[in-house]
Amino acid sequence: MLDPSLLAPETIRKLTRVEFDRMVDQGMFEDERVELLRGVLVTMSPQGGPHSTITAWFAQRLVRLLDESFEVRSHSPFAASDDSEPEPDVSVSRHVPRSYEHPNAALLLIEVAESSMRKDRLIKAAIYAEAGIPEYWIVIVSGDEIVVEVHSEPRPSGYARVEQLRAGDVLMPVKLPQVTIAVADIPWY
């Protein structure tokens, strides 16, 4: 990666979300999977079998548990800030007439981390907390078990509360009281 200090006094020009959206609309990334994080284009890792299975399972389960007043989306752009438009694996928001420009309608965001753990924990968690997302789950896919890292209580500096749930624990989203998901039910190989 280019070290910005080597360019001084020049600086790196970052993209805004509006510029990124225009580029996407013009078909600039048709054959690439990229997301905008802190003004930088970041390539997204290809999805492995466990990743795609778990993502689809969460989306389907949430659709079944929620009524039509909610919207569940998979791999869709999320307008987090002026310089960030990540694509969470699953998002849940209230289904109300709203503009794409109002990101804080999201109640829960989920990332499945096979090879993206550092990015999901260090970069996306901060972006989501700054956007005021009430709850963010990282489903950790490694080792012999599924672990879900639950981030809640967003602050401008990050999430104030982070806990890891395992088999035997139950996920209960703060803003979705009708949803309970046993960690043991998440498909694992």
User: d(Cα 80, Cα 82) in Å, to the nearest integer?
Assistant: 7
Residue ranges of the domains in the chain? Answer: 46-185
The predicted pLDDT at position 121 comes to 95
Query: 161 CB contacts (<8 Å, ≥6 apart)?
Result: 150, 151, 152, 153
To the question of pTM greater than 0.85 for the whole model, the response is: yes
pLDDT of residue 48: 82
Q: Looking at this protein, which amino acid is placed at residue 185?
A: D
Inform me whether the pLDDT recorded for 180 exceeds 80. Answer: yes
User: pLDDT by residue (tens digit) across 68-120?
Assistant: 889 999 999 999 999 999 999 999 998 766 555 444 579 999 999 988 899 99
| DSSP line for 87-126 | --SEEEEE--S--TT-GGGEEEEEEEESS-HHIIIIIIHH
Alpha-carbon gap, residue 183 to 189, rounded angstroms: 14
Residue 66 has pLDDT above 60, yes or no: yes
pLDDT per residue as tens digits for the range 9-19: 888 899 999 99
What confidence score (pLDDT) does residue 105 get?
A: 78
pLDDT above 90: percentage of residues in the chain: 74
pLDDT in tens, 113-160: 988 899 999 999 999 999 999 999 999 987 788 899 999 999 999 999
pLDDT of amino acid 82: 95
Average pLDDT for the chain: 91
Residue 133 is encoded by which pair of tokens? 């997302």
* Topology of domain 46-185, CATH: tt1808, chain A (3.90.1570)
